[in-house]
Amino acid sequence: MSSSRLGLRLAVCLLNISEARRKYIVENVAKAALLEKNASAGLQDTEIDDLLRCAHMLFSKRLHTIPSIFLHIGQKHPEVSVLNVFSDQGYNRSVITIAASVAELGNSVLAACLEAFQSIDMEVQEGIHPCLGAVDLIPIYPLSGVGVEECGAVARSIGASPYVMNCNVTIDSQDLALGKEIASAIRGSNVNGLKGVQTMAFPHEGKIEIACNVESFEDQEVTETSEGSQYMAYSVLGDHFYYVSPHYIEAQVKKLASDQGIGIKGRALIGFTPQECKNCAEYAIKEGIGEFWKIRRGIFM
């Protein structure tokens, strides 16, 4: 059953936090998103603006105490679900996938951010992945029944866009220069690169990982969309979006690595494709499963 038939207008946040090695902290941040009476419950627009300014000050450590505006927590909310928690020990970074009705998502994300601010000490945080603060990224994407513009109104200065997927491919090498060369070759901004793909190369678990942000885009010239083709497709509110297939990204990295006489170790998809995220969100919220990340493999995987 589609989310429109369920009466749901769904959006998702892929909350990036600078902690992975202390599991209890990551889980506490995830659970904070499920609280009904949280950071911005019942606040006026001007008060939410003040709250967001406080959040940005906390990002940059220019504010050292938690304002009382944040300190309202309560019961779990039925229209919010944490779909996935992905933690990378080497990067010391986690991505928490929070799905909710668009009316509730902002509240839930702010509550999770508060927990991260209180729990993660950036003075002692270590990890090879670049980061801005305890909360690093707060992107918000529409899933169904809601567009980018409305998600942008929820996000305010945080940021909303069509879905961006994270797909990483590890090459069987410790040569960072080679990794950067491969990353550059597939980067969308370069000639013959993959459209909508942003890349970096990092040392990771004794090898080199090509980390890719895979952006969705609108393109009337894209015709072939299937698992084996270059592009995959999905739609939101009748608008059609496309993105480069994870299989295609892996194949391109494998070819470039093979040209240098090396292989690949595998591919990691951080969370979901857009359609998988929509399907999981619909199911979790319809069934009232807040901590969906704990059981999802038994349902969908």
pLDDT tier for residue 1 given thresholds of 50, 70 and 90: very low
Question: Does residue 273 have a pLDDT over 80?
Answer: yes
Question: Does residue 38 have a pLDDT over 50?
Answer: no
How many other C-beta atoms are found inside a 10 Å radius of the C-beta of residue 24?
8
pLDDT digits (tens, 9 = 90+) for 60-96: 444 445 454 444 444 456 789 999 999 998 899 999 9
Beta-strand ranges (E) seen in the chain are 10-17, 80-88, 93-101, 135-137, 140-144, 164-171, 197-204, 207-215, 231-236, 239-244, 264-270
Question: Does residue 226 have a pLDDT over 80?
Answer: no
Tell me the chain's radius of gyration from C-alpha atoms. Answer: 19
Question: Does residue 284 have a pLDDT over 70?
Answer: yes
For residue 46, give every residue at least 6 positions away whose Cβ sits within 8 Å of its Cβ, in sequence order, or none: none
- DSSP at 75: S
Contact status, residue 34 vs residue 77, Cβ threshold 8 Å: yes
Question: Does residue 223 have a pLDDT over 70?
Answer: no
Average pLDDT over residues 151-162: 81
Please tell me the predicted confidence (pLDDT) of residue 36.
Answer: 58
Question: Among 22, 36, 23, which Cα is nearest to 111's?
Answer: 36
Contact status, residue 6 vs residue 282, Cβ threshold 8 Å: yes
For residue 52, give every residue at least 6 positions away whose Cβ sits within 8 Å of its Cβ, in sequence order, or none: 156, 157, 158
Looking up tokens 């207008």, which residue turns up?
A: 9
Please tell me the predicted confidence (pLDDT) of residue 66.
Answer: 47
Question: Does residue 263 have a pLDDT over 70?
Answer: yes
